[in-house]
Every structure is written in C-alpha cells, then in structure tokens.
Structure 1
Amino acid sequence: MPSPSRTLTRALAASLTEVTTRGDGRELIGIEREWPLRPVSSPADRADLPTLQRICDTPLPAAGRPTIEPGGQIELSTQPASSVDRALDALHLDTAELGDRLRRSGLTVHDVAVDVSRHPHRILTAGRYAAMEEYFAAHGEAGTWMMCNTASTQLNISHHPDRPADRWRLAHQLGPVLVAAFANSPGLDSDGTRWESLRQAIWWSIAPTRTRPPCTVRPAAEAWLEYALAADVMLVRGDGDTAHSQLPGFSFEQWMDHGHEAGWPTADDFTYHLTTLFPPIRARGWLELRMIDALPSALLEVATLVTATALTVDAVMDSLLAGLPRTEHLWLDAARSGLAHPTLRQAATLLFDEVEGHLSVTTAVPERRAAVRRFADRFVAAGASPAQSIASDVLRTGFAPRLRPFDLPVPTLQSA
C-alpha cells in the first residue's frame, strides 16, 4: 500500500523491471489453459464459487495449479518443465483429473475462447477484481468481457540464456502470426464485424496503455520500464483486501512524480502494478505469451510445439529473424482476418516450414510431429485458421461485445 512519503525512485523502478527481462540460465516451459464452465443442470448459470474453491484446493497428480478466473472460468497452470513433452504430458494428466472432479461436481468444460451464450458476470468478489471491473468500465464493456467470458492458451518460456534480446524480438514478430494461425473464436461484435479471433479483438479494445505491446525497438528492460510507467494506474491498494479503482488518465509515472491522495507508491506498489499490465507478451523473469485462443487438446499441442521450437531452437530462431516479413503491426489484422491476410499467411508458411525440420529437437513423440504436419496441410496451406471449421451459426447466436475504436494511441512517457 502507498507510503506517506516519497520512496520509489526511477532507478529502483528500473531495477525492478530489469529483473523481469532476464532469466536464471535455465530453459523451461510452462503451459496455462483456460476453460469456461457450465453447471450441467443449469447451463445459463455460472459455476458456484465454493464448489470451485474445493476443487482447486486439492493437489493435482502432476502438481499443476488450478485457479479461478473472475467469471468462473478455470485455469490450469503446469509446473515449469525442462521439455515440451514433459509440459504437455503433465498438462494432460492434470487436465484429466481436473475434468473428472468438475464432472463429479456437476460442471462441464467447454473448449471455447469466447463465451457468447451468457452475458458477462463476475463471481469473484475480491477487491482487486471489483476495482478492475470498475476501471475497465470507464473504457467500455470489453474489459468485463475479457475478465468473465474469454479463455486463452498461455505459453511461458524462459528468457534465452545467451540471447534474450533476440527471443524477445522474435516473440513479438511471431505474436500476430500465432493469433492468425490458431484463431479459434469466430464471432461478430455488436457492429456486425466478423472476427476470426473475437477474443483478441476484445483484448485489443481494452485500455490501450496496458494491453498493447511495448516498443520492441528499444532493449527489453528499457521498453518494459517505459511501458510500465506510461500505463495508467488501475487501482490503489489499501489495508487487507481493499482496493480502490483509479479512473483512466493517471499514469504510474504521474503517481511516482506527483503522489496521490492515498500517498506515494512504494516498490511493492510498482511490482503489483506490473501484474495489472496485460500486453500480448509480458516479461516476468520469463516470457508470457498471452495471445493464443483457447484450443482443444490436439491443437494446443501443435501451438505449443510450433511456438517452443521457434523460440528455443537457435537455428530456427536465426532463420525466422532473418526471413520473417514484418508483422509487428498486424495484431488487429490477425484477429480480423486470420491467415486470409497475405502477409500473415506468408509468415505462417515460413514459420511451419522452419519448425518442421527441427521438431525432433523439441519432441520425441512421432504423433506430435505428425500433428504439426497435418495442421500445416489443413490450415496453413489453405490460408485458414481453426475458426474456419467452427459452425457458422456460432456467429449469429448469443451476445455480442461492443468494441471501442481501435486506433487509440498508446501513451508514452511525458518525459520521453
């Protein structure tokens, strides 16, 4: 919570962000998978919070960590693993056990990235989530949709032990390509615009100071510091679980330089502020890749293998850095058009071609390598995404989010 006097300096903030942009020399991977849940007896309702808490409190066989999202989605996070195969095997083992628990409790999971059948509704009551919802409401309804009705596949990959800058840069180049290749949430917004990844469109419509990617021209530590200081303060924490939302337009830099009626930010406030930033790729001592839609198990394996091979096999990383077309500006195009966009299709073709020749480095399972080939043949070669195979009636049923203008600028530091 804030301090009555000024304690946080820019140098200290820089040191706190710099730590998040370097690893400890190990190559590890983790996977996070989300699902919307429905009570079997009343599908229009949300899961009961005490029931979910009981399910999540019992350890899973592979030591994965289940957590509850604001709208009652459940997220499963694997332990960091030394190989993709170990991470996937652990995910499947814990998924099976978690699924059994949910079924015994009268709940069913859905492999969808956007739940359009129910209006967004928050079941978590902690002060953080109430303040988040209030803050997002000032920007429109997309934030509540994100919190309550979306689900993603998140990959956590270590910073490169020797070349962290290259992995950081390539991850941002690949981001829109991964959105397009694995788009799995076709839908219409309230204006009737069709999206291949409605989930990504929802994220892009949220407060731009905390959901757009940082500048990748500058070194990662410098770019992440500038991004964090320029981002609006979402909430100010008080005693215990209390949190007070802050209206948009008050950056952390302003708080640090001019204070607030609640006091001055501390190092702990800045570290907490970093957890309220949601760019497509977030530095946390590793890279969180947050841009891929929730996927069924078979496609999740493909997305994990392709991404991990591209970012952890140096020969593939070098080829992609040298040969990928510029895609960093195509996030919105990826969400709207998927691989129908010619530049993204070109980039995805190169990505899969390079990855396929090195899959034996990242997986010892022949069927997993074959699945990547089948995905390339079925989707990439056709310039299509998984969204194309979802029934078109999904586009015309249920609720549609109202999205805000996408051309809003991302603020930079006042002192920059």
Structure 2
Amino acid sequence: MMQEATGVQPPTAANGVVPTWAPPPAAPPTITVLHSRAEAEAYVASVCFKHGPPRLAGVELEWLVYPAAAPWKPPDAATLAAALGPHTPSTLHPCSPAIPLPNGSVVTVEPGGQVELASPPLAGLSALDRTVKADVAELHRRLAAHGLHIEPRASDPIRPPTRILDLPRYRAMERAFDRIGPHGRSGMCSTAAVQVCLDAGEAAEIAHRWDTLHALGPVLLAAFANSPLLHGRRTGWKSSRMACWLAADPGRTAPPPPRTGDPATAWAERVLQTPLLCVRRSTGSWEVPDRVTFADWIGGALSTRPTTADLDYHVSTLFPPVRPRGHLEVRYVDGQPGRHWMLPIAMLVALLSDPVVTDKALELSEPAQGRWTSAARHGLDDRVLAGAAVGVFELACTALRALGGPPEYLAELEDVTERRVRRGRCPADEAVPGETGVDREPAPAGPPFALRDGPAGPQRLPDHPDEPDSPEGARW
C-alpha cells in the first residue's frame, strides 16, 4: 500500500535500501518541569555548549528543487516522496521508514519543499568528504529520476513562496512571521543554505571559537553570497537569503553583539527573552499569543508549565547566524552551485583546526566584524570585506594544506581565491545558465509570477541602519 501511494518501500535486504550506517540508539532524554528562569538558563547553558576536544564536523546542505517540466510550480509533495523513497522524512509521509542514505546522512524537507541532507558528525575532512559526496550523489540521482532539478541559487529566482508542508509548526511559524512582514515567509519557503556544524571545543576555548565564527561571518557571507534573485527579479542584494532572514524577526535571527563575554550565559538569556514561535500540543493549533517569551511562560503566561523538552524545542525556533545546539551550527553561508558546498566546510574546519590559526583568522576578520548587512547587500563590493576576504582565504588555503585535507578541496579553494576573491567577486556576480536579463521572468508557458503579484515578498528589502552598509567601507 505504501509503495502504491508514495513510492516508498520498507527497508529490506532484498530491495537494497538498507543503509550501510546507522546511528547508535540514544538514551531517552530526562524531561523536567521548569519552575524558574534561573533553572531554565542553567539548562540552556549546559546543553547548548558541550565541552570537549574539537574533533567532529558535519554539514547540512539545502537545495531548492523544481519540476523540470514546470519550473514555475512548487515541487509536488507526492513526487518528492516518490523520489526520496525509503529516505522520505516522516514530516512528508508519516508512514515512511525515514532511513538514512547509504552513508548515514539523513534527509529532511523544508516548508517550501527544499530538500536537506544532514551528514553524521565525523572526524576529519576526508571522512566527511567521502560520506557527503556519496550521499549527495544518491540524493540528486533520486530527484533527477523523478524530474526534479536542483536550483543553483540560494533563493528562488522565479516562484513566490509556497509552503507545501502543512504541519502545525510551520502554520504557526508562517503566521508569526507574517505579523512582522513578508520576509519570513520568503526565508522559510524560498531559500537554501550550507550549514556547517563544528564541536564547541574545550571550556577554555569556547568563547574564542564563538567570537571567531561570528567575526568570520560577514566575510564568508559576502564571499559566498549566491542569491541576487528572488521571486522574479533582482533585489539589489547579493544575498537575498540573508536579507530575508535578518528582516524576518530580528530578535530571533540577528547576530549577537561582538565579544559578549561568556557566550553560554548570553545565549541562555537570549533564549529566555525570545518570544515563543509555537508551543507543541497534541491537538489543535500550536500558535501562541504575540510576544509571549519563554520567560513569560515560566512566569505563568500560558495555562501549562514548560518542560526542558519544550525549552529544547524553543531553541530550535531561533535562527541566528551561529546557533549553539551542543555543537556550533554555522548558518550564514548561502547554498552553493554544483559541488562548491565543499568550500565553506573546508574553510571553517581548517580555520578552527588549530588555536594559532584561529587567532589569525580572528585578527584578519576583525576589520569587517559586524558588517552583516553590507555583506548581504554588497558582497565583496564592500572594500573592507574584500580586503579581509583575501587574507582569510589565503590563510584557509595554508591551513588546509597543513591539515592534509582532500586535494580536490585545496585545488578548488586556491582556484576560487585567485579567480574570484582576489577580484572582489562572489557567486552572485557570476552568470548562471538560463538567467536572462536583470528581471528574470518565469518561463512563458507558466503563470507570470513576479514579485509584485501576491504575497511573494518585499519589493525592496529593508535597511538595517544600525550596522555598517557601504561598498566604500564607511560606517553610518
């Protein structure tokens, strides 16, 4: 019955879909009712920053997909499920076995039908490279076999934002974002990222690694910006993806101030002060009254008492450029064309591989620190970011060579450094086959979806006057 309805087959040795890797069984979490803000903040600090030697790295790769026969349409949920087969997540088909891909990566689907691959955490770039390349190839093969193509940009160049997952979380999320503006809906349904996951490190190192990842953020955001088109036209931003997320709900998505001292304490305070996006319930809507924070919930603002499980879930509804979840989840890089997803992974692993290299990366990035808005708008047209990027990319090449990373990564990184970064260019400046003119309109055979038609998103993405934003490098 399952195969007939969705194309999903149960995993058996006979059908060849049994994965070669499986995660170890996890112990059931201990769930505790929270009675005070101090108790909740201590819990967040303890679970979001796990101490230990920085050995492991992983990646989450997202892709916008579209039907080759009708690129102006969103992907069909049934077609996606048929393409993903036994790897279909339960959010798309509740009866799916949702097994990992053959090398252990897990497939998920985002609200607008973006497909995401999450690798297992692995020690060493070579192991990560083998795993991710093999699983990406299998995932893309499955999509292509069902007429689904991969969009090379990190934002949807044609379609308005359309949510295909009708789940309580995403209904509540969409309505909460819509109260602020149209940008959250675009971020949810029409963008894709490369998210690099790294160990937080030993207790004495965490603040330094946290500061370095944030200092590197504007530099890597600018250098890998790959979303100049959104909903039918050019937005004037090199990373329309990041512009959408910065504007979606700033309290939930903005970067922290530089050098916040103890990041665990600052993060715990932020989590408690952030309004609830939704509250899980067994039936009915997950929506909550506007602007009720988790601290308010502890104080009695809702009829139930929150638990540590509720707090874990609340953390998953914050989307800053770097999100601590036991490890550090770097979220500021646009999805990359082709196999260039490997470059931000290689850079971040190499730059945080040794304390001396990390010190130098922080030093090189500091002139550009805080330039998030200018990075998203101008990319490497910002002279401060362009100067910092050359130094950071050169350092990453040296560090990757010393690390003994995959030769393919080093060769590609050196090529991009010479061909693009030294010339002040990012992927948004490069032509993509099929893009015509400044205002890219949909294929003539389909409906004329453009930015001005319906709730697609902002005609002009918002200014952030509190941050540096000038290609000349001047601050407001």
In the superposition, the TM-score normalised over structure 2's length comes to: 0.79
Match of 2:76 among 44, 48, 62: 48
- CA displacement at 1:245 relative to structure 2: 1.9
Q: Which deviates more from structure 2 when the two are superposed, residues 120-129 or residues 188-197? A: 188-197
Letter in 1 for 2:279: V
Equivalent in the alignment of 1:368? 409
Secondary structure of the residue that 1:237 maps to in structure 2? Answer: coil
Letter in 2 for 1:226: E
- Equivalences for residues 32-47 of structure 1 within 5 A: 32-47=60-75
Counterpart contact for 1:213–1:281, Cα < 8 Å: yes
Counterpart contact for 2:373–2:464, Cα < 8 Å: no
CA spacing shift, 1:219–1:406, aligned 2, 3 Å: farther
CA distance in 1, matches of 2:341, 2:232: 29
Secondary structure of the residue that 1:381 maps to in structure 2? Answer: helix
Give the RMSD, CA atoms, in angstroms. Answer: 2.4
Greater RCO between the two (CA within 8 Å, min separation 6)? 1
1:293 equivalent in alignment to 2:320: no
CA distance in 1, matches of 2:306, 2:438: 45
Equivalent in the alignment of 1:206? 248
CA spacing shift, 1:406–1:189, aligned 2, 3 Å: farther
Secondary structure of the residue that 2:198 maps to in structure 1? Answer: strand
Higher helix content, 1 or 2: 1
Equivalent in the alignment of 2:208? 166
1:9 equivalent in alignment to 2:52: no
Who wins on radius of gyration, i.e. which is larger?
2
1:256 equivalent in alignment to 2:283: no
Match of 2:347 among 294, 297, 306: 306
CA distance in 2, matches of 1:189, 1:48: 18
Counterpart contact for 1:208–1:408, Cα < 8 Å: no
CA distance in 2, matches of 1:118, 1:188: 8
Equivalent in the alignment of 1:222? 265
Structure 2 residues not aligned, in runs of 5+: 1-32, 89-97, 442-449, 452-456, 468-476
Counterpart contact for 1:208–1:409, Cα < 8 Å: no
CA distance in 2, matches of 1:75, 1:358: 29
1:267 equivalent in alignment to 2:308: yes
1:141 equivalent in alignment to 2:169: no
- The sequence identity of aligned pairs, in percent, is 33
Q: For residues 390-412 of structure 1, give each alpha carbon's deviation from its aligned partner in whole angstroms, at most 9, with x where no partner exists.
A: 257464124443066444989xx
Q: For residues 150-194 of structure 1, give each alpha carbon's deviation from its aligned partner in whole angstroms, at most 9, with x where no partner exists.
A: 111110111123511110110010011110011111137999751
Equivalent in the alignment of 1:85? 126
Q: Which deviates more from structure 2 when the two are superposed, residues 380-389 or residues 190-199? A: 190-199
CA spacing shift, 1:110–1:268, aligned 2, 3 Å: same
Structure 1 residues not aligned, in runs of 5+: 1-5, 411-416
CA distance in 2, matches of 1:99, 1:63: 15
- CA displacement at 1:44 relative to structure 2: 2.3
Q: For residues 54-86 of structure 1, give each alpha carbon's deviation from its aligned partner in whole angstroms, at most 9, with x where no partner exists.
A: 512354221111111111110011111101222
Counterpart contact for 2:292–2:301, Cα < 8 Å: no
Equivalent in the alignment of 1:237? 280
- CA displacement at 1:96 relative to structure 2: 0.9
Q: For residues 272-300 of structure 1, give each alpha carbon's deviation from its aligned partner in whole angstroms, at most 9, with x where no partner exists.
A: 11010000100001110001111024422
1:324 equivalent in alignment to 2:352: no
CA spacing shift, 1:394–1:31, aligned 2, 3 Å: farther
CA distance in 2, matches of 1:321, 1:59: 36
CA distance in 2, matches of 1:375, 1:248: 45
CA distance in 1, matches of 2:125, 2:72: 37
Q: For residues 105-135 of structure 1, give each alpha carbon's deviation from its aligned partner in whole angstroms, at most 9, with x where no partner exists.
A: 2222222200121111111111111111111
CA distance in 1, matches of 2:436, 2:295: 47
CA spacing shift, 1:103–1:187, aligned 2, 3 Å: closer
Letter in 2 for 1:16: Y
Counterpart contact for 1:112–1:295, Cα < 8 Å: yes
CA spacing shift, 1:83–1:109, aligned 2, 3 Å: same
CA spacing shift, 1:108–1:58, aligned 2, 3 Å: farther
Secondary structure of the residue that 2:194 maps to in structure 1? Answer: strand
Secondary structure of the residue that 1:358 maps to in structure 2? Answer: helix
- Equivalences for residues 187-206 of structure 1 within 5 A: 187=229, 194-206=236-248
- CA displacement at 1:306 relative to structure 2: 1.3
Equivalent in the alignment of 1:28? 56
List structure 1 segments (4+ residues) > 6 angstroms apart after TM superposition. Answer: 188-192
CA distance in 2, matches of 1:373, 1:409: 35
Q: Which deviates more from structure 2 when the two are superposed, residues 164-173 or residues 192-201? A: 192-201
CA spacing shift, 1:122–1:191, aligned 2, 3 Å: closer
1:182 equivalent in alignment to 2:224: yes
Counterpart contact for 2:34–2:40, Cα < 8 Å: no
Letter in 2 for 1:231: T
Counterpart contact for 2:234–2:440, Cα < 8 Å: no
Counterpart contact for 1:85–1:362, Cα < 8 Å: no
CA spacing shift, 1:395–1:222, aligned 2, 3 Å: farther
Q: Which deviates more from structure 2 when the two are superposed, residues 276-285 or residues 391-400? A: 391-400
Secondary structure of the residue that 2:352 maps to in structure 1? Answer: helix
CA distance in 1, matches of 2:234, 2:144: 36
CA spacing shift, 1:61–1:363, aligned 2, 3 Å: farther
Secondary structure of the residue that 1:125 maps to in structure 2? Answer: coil
Counterpart contact for 1:140–1:404, Cα < 8 Å: no
Match of 2:162 among 111, 121, 138: 121
- CA displacement at 1:387 relative to structure 2: 1.0
Counterpart contact for 1:116–1:397, Cα < 8 Å: yes
Counterpart contact for 2:192–2:334, Cα < 8 Å: yes
Counterpart contact for 1:29–1:157, Cα < 8 Å: yes
- CA displacement at 1:343 relative to structure 2: 1.4
Counterpart contact for 2:237–2:378, Cα < 8 Å: yes
CA spacing shift, 1:357–1:404, aligned 2, 3 Å: closer
In the superposition, the TM-score normalised over structure 1's length comes to: 0.90
1:101 equivalent in alignment to 2:142: yes
